[in-house]
Structure 1
Amino acid sequence: MTELLLATRNAKKLGELRRILDTENVRGIEIIGLDAVVEFPEAPETEPTFEGNALAKARDAAEATGLPSVADDSGLSVDALNGMPGVLSARWSGKHGDDPANLDLVLAQLGDVPDDRRGAAFVCAAALVLPSGVEVVVRGEWRGSLTREPRGANGFGYDPIFLPEGFEVTSAELEPAEKDAMSHRGRALRLLLPQLRRLTED
Protein backbone atom coordinates (compact mmCIF):
# COMPACT_ATOMS: atom_id res chain seq x y z
CA MET A 1 0.00 0.00 0.00
CA THR A 2 1.46 3.37 -1.06
CA GLU A 3 0.90 6.28 1.32
CA LEU A 4 -0.09 9.56 -0.33
CA LEU A 5 -0.09 12.70 1.80
CA LEU A 6 -2.84 15.20 1.10
CA ALA A 7 -1.45 18.34 2.71
CA THR A 8 -4.56 19.38 4.61
CA ARG A 9 -6.30 18.92 7.95
CA ASN A 10 -9.70 19.32 6.29
CA ALA A 11 -11.54 16.02 6.74
CA LYS A 12 -13.95 16.87 3.90
CA LYS A 13 -11.07 17.27 1.43
CA LEU A 14 -9.59 13.96 2.55
CA GLY A 15 -12.96 12.28 2.12
CA GLU A 16 -13.38 13.78 -1.33
CA LEU A 17 -10.06 12.43 -2.63
CA ARG A 18 -10.74 9.01 -1.09
CA ARG A 19 -14.15 8.87 -2.79
CA ILE A 20 -12.67 9.92 -6.14
CA LEU A 21 -9.97 7.22 -6.01
CA ASP A 22 -12.60 4.66 -5.07
CA THR A 23 -14.98 5.77 -7.84
CA GLU A 24 -12.16 5.69 -10.40
CA ASN A 25 -11.07 2.24 -9.16
CA VAL A 26 -7.59 3.37 -8.09
CA ARG A 27 -6.35 0.76 -5.64
CA GLY A 28 -3.22 0.47 -3.52
CA ILE A 29 -3.12 4.08 -2.28
CA GLU A 30 -3.76 5.10 1.31
CA ILE A 31 -4.67 8.78 1.66
CA ILE A 32 -3.39 10.41 4.85
CA GLY A 33 -3.63 14.01 6.03
CA LEU A 34 -1.32 16.33 7.94
CA ASP A 35 -2.68 15.07 11.27
CA ALA A 36 -1.14 11.65 10.49
CA VAL A 37 2.46 12.87 10.08
CA VAL A 38 4.97 14.61 12.32
CA GLU A 39 4.20 18.33 12.35
CA PHE A 40 6.45 20.48 10.17
CA PRO A 41 6.64 24.22 9.43
CA GLU A 42 4.09 25.13 6.77
CA ALA A 43 4.88 28.12 4.61
CA PRO A 44 2.16 30.80 4.44
CA GLU A 45 0.12 31.06 1.26
CA THR A 46 1.77 34.13 -0.20
CA GLU A 47 1.84 33.29 -3.91
CA PRO A 48 -0.37 35.40 -6.21
CA THR A 49 -1.83 32.36 -7.99
CA PHE A 50 -3.66 29.19 -6.96
CA GLU A 51 -1.00 27.16 -8.79
CA GLY A 52 1.85 28.82 -6.90
CA ASN A 53 0.28 28.23 -3.50
CA ALA A 54 -0.59 24.60 -4.25
CA LEU A 55 2.93 23.84 -5.46
CA ALA A 56 4.56 25.50 -2.45
CA LYS A 57 2.42 23.47 -0.04
CA ALA A 58 3.07 20.19 -1.86
CA ARG A 59 6.83 20.85 -1.99
CA ASP A 60 6.95 21.56 1.75
CA ALA A 61 5.01 18.37 2.51
CA ALA A 62 7.11 16.13 0.27
CA GLU A 63 10.38 17.56 1.57
CA ALA A 64 9.36 17.25 5.24
CA THR A 65 7.89 13.75 5.05
CA GLY A 66 9.53 12.01 2.10
CA LEU A 67 6.06 11.01 0.92
CA PRO A 68 4.38 11.65 -2.42
CA SER A 69 2.34 14.75 -1.59
CA VAL A 70 -0.70 16.47 -3.05
CA ALA A 71 -1.80 19.96 -2.09
CA ASP A 72 -4.48 22.19 -3.45
CA ASP A 73 -5.36 25.84 -3.34
CA SER A 74 -8.86 26.80 -4.26
CA GLY A 75 -11.23 29.70 -4.08
CA LEU A 76 -14.04 31.67 -5.60
CA SER A 77 -13.57 33.97 -8.56
CA VAL A 78 -16.46 36.45 -8.90
CA ASP A 79 -16.93 38.16 -12.25
CA ALA A 80 -18.37 41.37 -10.78
CA LEU A 81 -15.44 41.60 -8.34
CA ASN A 82 -12.82 41.31 -11.10
CA GLY A 83 -11.95 37.75 -10.13
CA MET A 84 -11.75 38.37 -6.41
CA PRO A 85 -11.66 37.04 -3.73
CA GLY A 86 -9.53 34.53 -5.67
CA VAL A 87 -6.48 33.39 -3.69
CA LEU A 88 -7.77 35.47 -0.76
CA SER A 89 -11.02 33.48 -0.55
CA ALA A 90 -10.28 31.81 2.80
CA ARG A 91 -9.45 35.14 4.47
CA TRP A 92 -11.59 37.58 2.50
CA SER A 93 -13.21 39.00 5.64
CA GLY A 94 -9.83 39.46 7.34
CA LYS A 95 -9.71 36.30 9.44
CA HIS A 96 -8.53 33.03 7.88
CA GLY A 97 -11.13 30.28 7.73
CA ASP A 98 -14.14 32.29 8.93
CA ASP A 99 -16.51 30.82 6.33
CA PRO A 100 -19.71 32.64 7.45
CA ALA A 101 -17.97 36.04 7.54
CA ASN A 102 -16.33 35.51 4.15
CA LEU A 103 -19.62 34.44 2.60
CA ASP A 104 -21.53 37.37 4.14
CA LEU A 105 -18.95 39.85 2.87
CA VAL A 106 -19.20 38.58 -0.72
CA LEU A 107 -23.00 38.76 -0.58
CA ALA A 108 -22.81 42.31 0.77
CA GLN A 109 -20.39 43.35 -1.97
CA LEU A 110 -22.82 41.97 -4.57
CA GLY A 111 -25.90 43.51 -2.96
CA ASP A 112 -26.72 45.80 -5.92
CA VAL A 113 -25.51 43.44 -8.65
CA PRO A 114 -28.43 42.10 -10.78
CA ASP A 115 -28.97 38.36 -11.14
CA ASP A 116 -27.68 38.25 -14.73
CA ARG A 117 -24.30 39.68 -13.67
CA ARG A 118 -23.62 37.41 -10.70
CA GLY A 119 -21.43 34.94 -12.61
CA ALA A 120 -18.64 33.20 -10.74
CA ALA A 121 -16.36 30.17 -10.82
CA PHE A 122 -14.85 27.94 -8.23
CA VAL A 123 -11.18 27.42 -9.12
CA CYS A 124 -8.83 24.73 -7.82
CA ALA A 125 -5.16 24.16 -8.55
CA ALA A 126 -3.77 20.83 -7.37
CA ALA A 127 -0.09 19.96 -7.22
CA LEU A 128 1.57 16.56 -6.90
CA VAL A 129 5.20 16.50 -5.78
CA LEU A 130 7.12 13.23 -5.58
CA PRO A 131 10.27 12.63 -3.50
CA SER A 132 12.07 12.02 -6.81
CA GLY A 133 11.51 15.67 -7.71
CA VAL A 134 8.69 15.14 -10.21
CA GLU A 135 6.14 17.97 -10.03
CA VAL A 136 2.73 18.14 -11.70
CA VAL A 137 0.30 21.06 -11.38
CA VAL A 138 -3.25 21.02 -12.77
CA ARG A 139 -6.26 23.33 -12.65
CA GLY A 140 -10.00 22.71 -12.50
CA GLU A 141 -12.83 25.26 -12.82
CA TRP A 142 -16.55 25.03 -12.06
CA ARG A 143 -18.72 27.80 -13.52
CA GLY A 144 -21.96 29.05 -12.05
CA SER A 145 -23.56 32.08 -10.43
CA LEU A 146 -24.15 33.36 -6.92
CA THR A 147 -27.45 33.32 -5.06
CA ARG A 148 -28.61 36.14 -2.79
CA GLU A 149 -28.95 33.95 0.31
CA PRO A 150 -27.12 30.84 1.55
CA ARG A 151 -28.86 27.51 0.93
CA GLY A 152 -27.89 23.99 1.95
CA ALA A 153 -25.87 22.34 4.70
CA ASN A 154 -23.44 20.18 2.71
CA GLY A 155 -20.01 21.35 1.67
CA PHE A 156 -18.14 24.28 3.17
CA GLY A 157 -16.82 27.74 2.32
CA TYR A 158 -18.86 29.45 -0.38
CA ASP A 159 -20.82 26.31 -1.34
CA PRO A 160 -24.14 27.63 0.09
CA ILE A 161 -24.22 30.57 -2.37
CA PHE A 162 -22.79 28.88 -5.48
CA LEU A 163 -25.35 27.80 -8.07
CA PRO A 164 -23.64 25.51 -10.63
CA GLU A 165 -24.48 26.07 -14.28
CA GLY A 166 -27.54 24.04 -15.27
CA PHE A 167 -28.69 23.49 -11.69
CA GLU A 168 -31.34 25.04 -9.48
CA VAL A 169 -29.68 23.92 -6.26
CA THR A 170 -26.49 25.24 -4.68
CA SER A 171 -23.39 23.12 -4.34
CA ALA A 172 -24.21 22.89 -0.62
CA GLU A 173 -27.51 21.20 -1.55
CA LEU A 174 -25.85 18.54 -3.70
CA GLU A 175 -25.05 15.08 -2.39
CA PRO A 176 -21.29 14.51 -1.92
CA ALA A 177 -21.04 12.10 -4.86
CA GLU A 178 -22.85 14.58 -7.14
CA LYS A 179 -20.53 17.37 -6.11
CA ASP A 180 -17.41 15.20 -6.55
CA ALA A 181 -18.39 14.50 -10.15
CA MET A 182 -18.57 18.21 -11.05
CA SER A 183 -16.61 20.28 -8.58
CA HIS A 184 -13.48 22.29 -9.31
CA ARG A 185 -11.51 20.15 -6.84
CA GLY A 186 -12.90 16.94 -8.28
CA ARG A 187 -11.95 18.07 -11.79
CA ALA A 188 -8.42 19.01 -10.72
CA LEU A 189 -7.84 15.81 -8.73
CA ARG A 190 -9.06 13.69 -11.66
CA LEU A 191 -6.41 15.33 -13.84
CA LEU A 192 -3.82 13.90 -11.43
CA LEU A 193 -5.16 10.35 -11.71
CA PRO A 194 -2.67 9.19 -14.39
CA GLN A 195 0.23 10.15 -12.10
CA LEU A 196 -1.47 8.67 -9.03
CA ARG A 197 -2.03 5.36 -10.81
CA ARG A 198 1.70 5.22 -11.56
CA LEU A 199 2.47 5.39 -7.83
CA THR A 200 0.99 1.92 -7.44
CA GLU A 201 3.05 0.56 -10.32
CA ASP A 202 6.46 1.54 -8.97
Structure 2
Amino acid sequence: MQLVFATNNLNKVKEVQALIPAHIKLLSLKDIGCFEDVPETQPTIKGNAIQKAEFIKKHYGYDCFADDTGLEVEVLQGAPGVFSARYAGPQRNDNDNMDLLLCNLKDKSNRNAQFKTVIALHLKDQLQTFTGICKGEITTTKHGNKGFGYDPIFKPNGHTQTFAEISLDKKNSIGHRGKAVQLLVTFLNNL
Protein backbone atom coordinates (compact mmCIF):
# COMPACT_ATOMS: atom_id res chain seq x y z
CA MET A 1 0.00 0.00 0.00
CA GLN A 2 1.19 3.53 -0.68
CA LEU A 3 -0.14 6.70 0.85
CA VAL A 4 0.68 10.34 0.32
CA PHE A 5 1.38 12.36 3.44
CA ALA A 6 0.12 15.81 2.42
CA THR A 7 2.78 18.00 3.99
CA ASN A 8 5.89 19.90 2.99
CA ASN A 9 7.15 19.81 6.59
CA LEU A 10 10.09 17.40 6.50
CA ASN A 11 10.14 17.25 10.32
CA LYS A 12 6.60 15.88 10.30
CA VAL A 13 7.48 13.37 7.57
CA LYS A 14 10.43 12.14 9.65
CA GLU A 15 8.29 11.77 12.78
CA VAL A 16 5.49 9.93 10.99
CA GLN A 17 7.74 7.70 8.87
CA ALA A 18 9.18 6.30 12.12
CA LEU A 19 5.68 5.21 13.16
CA ILE A 20 4.24 3.85 9.89
CA PRO A 21 4.58 0.08 9.32
CA ALA A 22 7.13 -0.99 6.71
CA HIS A 23 4.46 -2.38 4.33
CA ILE A 24 3.07 1.14 3.84
CA LYS A 25 5.11 3.25 1.45
CA LEU A 26 4.90 6.89 2.42
CA LEU A 27 5.03 9.41 -0.43
CA SER A 28 5.64 13.12 0.06
CA LEU A 29 4.04 15.95 -1.88
CA LYS A 30 7.33 16.29 -3.76
CA ASP A 31 7.14 12.59 -4.72
CA ILE A 32 3.81 13.18 -6.49
CA GLY A 33 4.87 16.44 -8.12
CA CYS A 34 2.82 18.72 -5.88
CA PHE A 35 4.75 21.94 -5.45
CA GLU A 36 1.81 24.26 -4.85
CA ASP A 37 0.56 25.44 -1.50
CA VAL A 38 -2.16 23.10 -0.30
CA PRO A 39 -5.00 25.26 1.07
CA GLU A 40 -5.49 25.60 4.83
CA THR A 41 -8.35 28.06 5.10
CA GLN A 42 -10.70 26.33 7.53
CA PRO A 43 -11.47 27.78 10.98
CA THR A 44 -10.59 24.55 12.83
CA ILE A 45 -7.67 22.14 13.06
CA LYS A 46 -9.92 19.26 11.94
CA GLY A 47 -11.27 21.33 9.04
CA ASN A 48 -7.76 22.10 7.77
CA ALA A 49 -6.73 18.43 7.90
CA ILE A 50 -9.81 17.40 5.92
CA GLN A 51 -9.35 20.23 3.40
CA LYS A 52 -5.75 19.22 2.68
CA ALA A 53 -6.56 15.50 2.28
CA GLU A 54 -9.49 16.25 -0.03
CA PHE A 55 -7.37 18.63 -2.12
CA ILE A 56 -4.72 15.97 -2.81
CA LYS A 57 -7.30 13.29 -3.58
CA LYS A 58 -9.22 15.59 -5.93
CA HIS A 59 -6.26 17.13 -7.78
CA TYR A 60 -3.75 14.27 -7.76
CA GLY A 61 -5.90 11.15 -7.33
CA TYR A 62 -3.82 9.54 -4.57
CA ASP A 63 -5.06 7.97 -1.37
CA CYS A 64 -3.60 10.24 1.24
CA PHE A 65 -3.66 11.60 4.71
CA ALA A 66 -3.06 15.10 6.00
CA ASP A 67 -2.66 16.47 9.46
CA ASP A 68 -3.06 19.77 11.15
CA THR A 69 -1.72 20.56 14.57
CA GLY A 70 -2.31 23.41 16.94
CA LEU A 71 -1.13 24.49 20.35
CA GLU A 72 -4.08 25.48 22.51
CA VAL A 73 -3.34 27.57 25.59
CA GLU A 74 -6.05 27.55 28.25
CA VAL A 75 -5.68 31.14 29.54
CA LEU A 76 -5.65 32.44 25.94
CA GLN A 77 -9.01 30.76 25.17
CA GLY A 78 -7.33 28.14 22.98
CA ALA A 79 -5.01 30.47 21.07
CA PRO A 80 -2.88 30.19 19.03
CA GLY A 81 -4.88 27.08 17.97
CA VAL A 82 -5.50 26.86 14.23
CA PHE A 83 -3.14 29.84 13.75
CA SER A 84 -0.19 28.19 15.56
CA ALA A 85 2.18 28.19 12.55
CA ARG A 86 1.56 31.86 11.78
CA TYR A 87 0.84 33.17 15.28
CA ALA A 88 3.45 35.94 14.99
CA GLY A 89 2.79 36.60 11.31
CA PRO A 90 2.82 35.14 7.80
CA GLN A 91 6.58 34.46 7.91
CA ARG A 92 5.81 31.30 9.99
CA ASN A 93 8.92 31.67 12.13
CA ASP A 94 9.15 29.30 15.11
CA ASN A 95 11.20 31.69 17.28
CA ASP A 96 8.88 34.62 16.56
CA ASN A 97 5.87 32.46 17.46
CA MET A 98 7.44 31.28 20.73
CA ASP A 99 8.56 34.79 21.66
CA LEU A 100 5.06 36.19 21.12
CA LEU A 101 3.46 33.39 23.13
CA LEU A 102 5.92 33.82 26.01
CA CYS A 103 5.25 37.58 25.93
CA ASN A 104 1.48 37.00 26.02
CA LEU A 105 1.89 34.67 29.03
CA LYS A 106 4.48 36.69 30.98
CA ASP A 107 2.08 37.73 33.76
CA LYS A 108 -0.04 34.56 33.72
CA SER A 109 0.19 31.88 36.41
CA ASN A 110 -2.02 29.45 34.47
CA ARG A 111 0.28 28.03 31.79
CA ASN A 112 -1.82 24.93 30.96
CA ALA A 113 -1.82 24.02 27.29
CA GLN A 114 -2.36 21.13 24.95
CA PHE A 115 -1.10 20.13 21.56
CA LYS A 116 -3.82 18.73 19.30
CA THR A 117 -3.23 16.85 16.04
CA VAL A 118 -6.02 15.76 13.72
CA ILE A 119 -5.22 13.40 10.86
CA ALA A 120 -7.68 13.12 7.98
CA LEU A 121 -7.34 9.95 5.90
CA HIS A 122 -8.84 9.88 2.41
CA LEU A 123 -8.75 6.22 1.39
CA LYS A 124 -10.84 4.60 -1.35
CA ASP A 125 -13.27 7.54 -1.35
CA GLN A 126 -13.88 7.25 2.39
CA LEU A 127 -12.84 9.89 4.92
CA GLN A 128 -11.74 9.07 8.48
CA THR A 129 -10.28 11.36 11.13
CA PHE A 130 -8.02 10.55 14.08
CA THR A 131 -7.25 12.93 16.97
CA GLY A 132 -4.29 12.93 19.33
CA ILE A 133 -3.92 15.26 22.31
CA CYS A 134 -0.98 15.85 24.63
CA LYS A 135 -1.61 17.99 27.70
CA GLY A 136 1.13 19.99 29.37
CA GLU A 137 2.26 23.48 30.18
CA ILE A 138 4.16 26.35 28.63
CA THR A 139 7.54 26.97 30.25
CA THR A 140 8.79 30.48 31.00
CA THR A 141 11.91 30.10 28.82
CA LYS A 142 13.06 27.96 25.89
CA HIS A 143 14.80 24.66 26.67
CA GLY A 144 16.39 22.17 24.26
CA ASN A 145 17.28 22.14 20.58
CA LYS A 146 15.43 19.08 19.26
CA GLY A 147 12.07 19.12 17.58
CA PHE A 148 10.46 22.14 15.95
CA GLY A 149 7.63 24.61 16.39
CA TYR A 150 6.78 25.23 20.04
CA ASP A 151 8.70 22.16 21.30
CA PRO A 152 11.27 24.23 23.32
CA ILE A 153 8.53 25.79 25.47
CA PHE A 154 6.08 22.86 25.84
CA LYS A 155 6.56 20.49 28.78
CA PRO A 156 4.16 17.50 28.69
CA ASN A 157 2.37 16.58 31.92
CA GLY A 158 4.31 14.10 34.04
CA HIS A 159 7.66 15.06 32.52
CA THR A 160 10.44 17.40 33.59
CA GLN A 161 11.74 18.18 30.10
CA THR A 162 10.28 19.99 27.09
CA PHE A 163 9.60 18.23 23.80
CA ALA A 164 12.83 19.84 22.52
CA GLU A 165 14.86 18.06 25.21
CA ILE A 166 13.61 14.50 24.70
CA SER A 167 14.33 11.96 21.99
CA LEU A 168 12.13 11.59 18.91
CA ASP A 169 11.14 8.09 20.06
CA LYS A 170 10.01 9.42 23.43
CA LYS A 171 8.15 12.33 21.82
CA ASN A 172 6.37 9.92 19.46
CA SER A 173 5.32 7.69 22.37
CA ILE A 174 3.77 10.48 24.46
CA GLY A 175 3.02 13.21 21.93
CA HIS A 176 -0.08 14.38 20.11
CA ARG A 177 1.09 13.44 16.61
CA GLY A 178 2.27 10.03 17.76
CA LYS A 179 -1.11 9.32 19.36
CA ALA A 180 -3.00 10.36 16.22
CA VAL A 181 -0.66 8.34 13.98
CA GLN A 182 -1.10 5.25 16.19
CA LEU A 183 -4.87 5.50 15.68
CA LEU A 184 -4.27 5.83 11.93
CA VAL A 185 -1.92 2.82 11.91
CA THR A 186 -4.39 0.69 13.90
CA PHE A 187 -7.09 1.57 11.40
CA LEU A 188 -4.85 0.72 8.41
CA ASN A 189 -3.76 -2.58 9.98
CA ASN A 190 -7.40 -3.60 10.42
CA LEU A 191 -8.31 -3.11 6.75
TM-score by shorter chain over 0.5: yes
Amino acid in structure 2 at the alignment position of 1:18:
Q
Which of 27, 30, 33 aligns to 1:35? It is 30
**Contact residue 70 and residue 129 of structure 1 kept, 8 A:** yes
1:129 and 2:125 are equivalent in the alignment: no
**Contact residue 14 and residue 32 of structure 1 kept, 8 A:** no
Cα drift, residue 29 of structure 1: 0.9
Cα drift, residue 15 of structure 1: 1.3
**Contact residue 39 and residue 51 of structure 2 kept, 8 A:** no
**Partners of 1:96 and 1:133 in 2: how far apart?**
35
**Partners of 2:24 and 2:88 in 1: how far apart?**
37
Deviations, residues 137-173 of structure 1 (Å, cap 9, x unaligned)? 1111100001111111111000000011011100110
Q: What SS does the aligned partner of 1:9 have?
A: coil
**Contact residue 128 and residue 137 of structure 1 kept, 8 A:** yes
**Partners of 1:87 and 1:76 in 2: how far apart?**
8
State the match for 1:73 in structure 2: 68
Check 1:49–1:171 CA distance in 2 against 1; reply closer, same or farther (3 A cut): same
Matched length: 191
**Partners of 1:43 and 1:176 in 2: how far apart?**
27
State the match for 1:102 in structure 2: 97
**Partners of 1:67 and 1:45 in 2: how far apart?**
19
- Structure 1: any 5+ residue segments left out of the alignment? none
**Partners of 2:45 and 2:131 in 1: how far apart?**
9
**Partners of 2:9 and 2:186 in 1: how far apart?**
24
State the match for 1:7 in structure 2: 6
- Structure 2: any 5+ residue segments left out of the alignment? none
Check 1:41–1:12 CA distance in 2 against 1; reply closer, same or farther (3 A cut): closer
**Partners of 2:87 and 2:188 in 1: how far apart?**
33
1:144 and 2:139 are equivalent in the alignment: no
**Partners of 1:64 and 1:38 in 2: how far apart?**
11
**Partners of 2:43 and 2:131 in 1: how far apart?**
15
Check 1:42–1:63 CA distance in 2 against 1; reply closer, same or farther (3 A cut): farther
Deviations, residues 32-64 of structure 1 (Å, cap 9, x unaligned)? 111111226544311111111000001111222
Identical aligned pairs, as a percentage?
Answer: 39
**Partners of 1:44 and 1:67 in 2: how far apart?**
17
Deviations, residues 49-81 of structure 1 (Å, cap 9, x unaligned)? 111100000111122222210100001000110
TM-score by length of 1: 0.90
Structure 1 segments, 4+ long, off by >6 Å, are: none
Amino acid in structure 2 at the alignment position of 1:68:
D
TM-score by length of 2: 0.95
Check 1:142–1:41 CA distance in 2 against 1; reply closer, same or farther (3 A cut): same
**Partners of 2:168 and 2:60 in 1: how far apart?**
30
**Partners of 1:43 and 1:165 in 2: how far apart?**
33
TM-align CA RMSD: 1.4
Q: What SS does the aligned partner of 2:34 have?
A: coil
1:168 and 2:160 are equivalent in the alignment: yes
**Contact residue 29 and residue 35 of structure 2 kept, 8 A:** no
